[in-house]
Structure 1
Amino acid sequence: MKAWVLGIGWVSAAGIGRGRRGDRFAMAAGELPELSRRDIFTEPYPRFGRLDDFSRLGLAGIALALNDAGLDRWEQKRNIGIFAGTTRGCLETDRAYYDTVIPDGGALASPNLFAYTLSNTFLGEAAIRFGLAGSNLVLNDSDPAAFSALRLALESLAWGEAPLMLAGICDLPPAAGAAGASGRPPGAVFLVLSRERSASVPPLAEIALDAAGAVSVDAAGVADWPGLVQACLQPEEEIGRDCP
């Protein structure tokens, strides 16, 4: 199974970036940047400011990837799906919500936080914002190096479920003293994958999945998400300048 990478977007401790802009990509431990609507969207989007941190992070990664592929504008719903892997999900939002439930027997429980106590909430936000009508799913990655979301996206493309898929990861930094901190650096990164090579958008790379489950980029094996993204990115002068 293989697919073409049409766009990449990310938010990490190193900053906010897109593949075709030639932005520097790195994922390492550290504080994530504060995300404002103006960092991600040019038009007003009041809902963005109300999202919890996990949902805002995931939606930002998806928006940046779609923008990088020239697919952030739409008039009719598109058969584009999203698969996202996470090691901690919205656990920090859940904790914050229960901090409002415990006092006064739940009388002051936050309805706003409650709306974001599911890890897949940001997929719904992305589907509404960008007219995405394909399958979407958040997967729990027990292994920080897991490519579970990418594998499912490639399988979905191979089975003809959709012509385009988004695949990526999304993780907040663990709260201080939290147990079970993952080995995956915090941040979100998403790829736009196409079943067919696009005539209008030169691909950034080709991703393949072999029968043994190994992932490669342009025929070179990769071991984790940071390595995969680094392999997909090309020097700025090699990226088609007529691309979005």
Structure 2
Amino acid sequence: MMQSHIIGIGWVTAAGIGQGRRGDVFAMPQGPLPAVSRKDLFADPYPRFGRLDDFSQLGLAGIALALADAGLDHWEEKRNVGLFAGTVGGCLATDMDYYDSVLPQGGALASPNLFAYTLSNTFLGEAAIRFGLVGPSFVANLNDGNRLGCLQLALESLHWGECDIALAGFCELSLDKHLAQNGHHGTVFLVLSKESADSSQSYGVFGLDEKGTFFLDQHIVSDWSQLVAAFKRNS
């Protein structure tokens, strides 16, 4: 059995921008995502944020909100914190925008700015630089029915001692009817820690048993809404 404490959560969904300890209501309805500005996430100027593509802005927002909820958004020394993200469509929208810039004039006007964001893991690198994170980092391509798969990867990394703390979640733009089904577009990230120095900081013990079932304390969870509802009951 692998388990850890949930010590932070942040999200951007069609219902709004939220964090666990602010008491924001979590929901994942269908609909357009809210615009996320630098001021929603960072108190200090951050010119790079405005240059990110929509997918990278969304993923970085989820990470920033989760770290702030856990009180880990400020740092002086680099930290062994892992980043694990799941996605179905990834940065496909950016890829298509870049290709549209390649077509005219045989590629002479191809956008170098868009090209920098044609990898789904770009926002993880941005988060690592911004927050001083040096643990393992990757994006996993998941099918639409396996949105908790990234949490298993994070639990395994913590269990094997690869990192001290792990951020795990998903990032998804709504592209068409075949992607982001069941309202699963937006971003949600959890901060997971094997140890919780202060029990009041933990939302509960999250884990994966030998049968492959996720749980939070005594509650079995199979999707993000159930997971958030379970630790809301614990708060």
- What TM-score does the superposition give when structure 1 sets the normalisation length? 0.92
Of stretches 144-153 and 134-143 in structure 1, the one that deviates more from structure 2 is 144-153
Give unpaired runs (5+ residues) of structure 1: 239-244
Give a deviation string over 1:74-117, Cα, whole Å, max 9, x none.
00100001100001100000000000001110000000000000
The one-letter amino acid of 1:56's match is Q
**Quick one: distance in 2 between partners of 1:145 and 1:83?**
14
1:214 lines up with 2:213 in the alignment? yes
1:198 positional shift: 2.1
1:232 positional shift: 2.0
Query: What's the Cα RMSD here?
Result: 1.4
What SS class does the counterpart of residue 21 from structure 1 fall into?
Answer: coil
1:226 lines up with 2:225 in the alignment? yes
1:37 lines up with 2:38 in the alignment? yes
What SS class does the counterpart of residue 146 from structure 2 fall into?
Answer: coil
Partner of 2:179: 181
**Quick one: distance in 2 between partners of 1:11 and 1:143?**
18
**1:200-211, aligned counterparts within 5 Å?**
202-211=201-210
**1:1-244, aligned counterparts within 5 Å?**
1-174=2-175, 178=176, 180-184=178-182, 185-199=184-198, 202-234=201-233, 238=235
1:218 positional shift: 1.4
The one-letter amino acid of 1:181's match is L
What SS class does the counterpart of residue 93 from structure 1 fall into?
Answer: helix
**Quick one: distance in 1 between partners of 2:145 and 2:36?**
24
**Quick one: distance in 2 between partners of 1:44 and 1:234?**
37
**Quick one: distance in 1 between partners of 2:177 and 2:111?**
25
Give a deviation string over 1:160-196, Cα, whole Å, max 9, x none.
111100000100111xxx4632325211000000011
**1:53 to 1:6, Cα distance in 2 relative to 1, 3 A:** same
The one-letter amino acid of 2:75's match is W
**1:45 to 1:10, Cα distance in 2 relative to 1, 3 A:** same
Q: Is the 8 A contact 1:167 1:191 kept in 2?
A: yes
1:219 positional shift: 2.0
What SS class does the counterpart of residue 74 from structure 1 fall into?
Answer: coil
- What TM-score does the superposition give when structure 2 sets the normalisation length? 0.95
The one-letter amino acid of 1:25's match is F
Aligned residues: 233
**1:179 to 1:20, Cα distance in 2 relative to 1, 3 A:** closer
1:223 positional shift: 1.3
The one-letter amino acid of 2:189's match is F
**1:231 to 1:200, Cα distance in 2 relative to 1, 3 A:** closer
Q: Is the 8 A contact 1:87 1:144 kept in 2?
A: no
Q: Is the 8 A contact 1:69 1:201 kept in 2?
A: no
Fraction of identical pairs, as percent: 60
Give unpaired runs (5+ residues) of structure 2: none
**Quick one: distance in 1 between partners of 2:34 and 2:147?**
25
**Quick one: distance in 2 between partners of 1:47 and 1:116?**
13
**Quick one: distance in 2 between partners of 1:228 and 1:152?**
17
1:228 positional shift: 1.4
**Quick one: distance in 2 between partners of 1:141 and 1:226?**
18
**1:165 to 1:116, Cα distance in 2 relative to 1, 3 A:** same
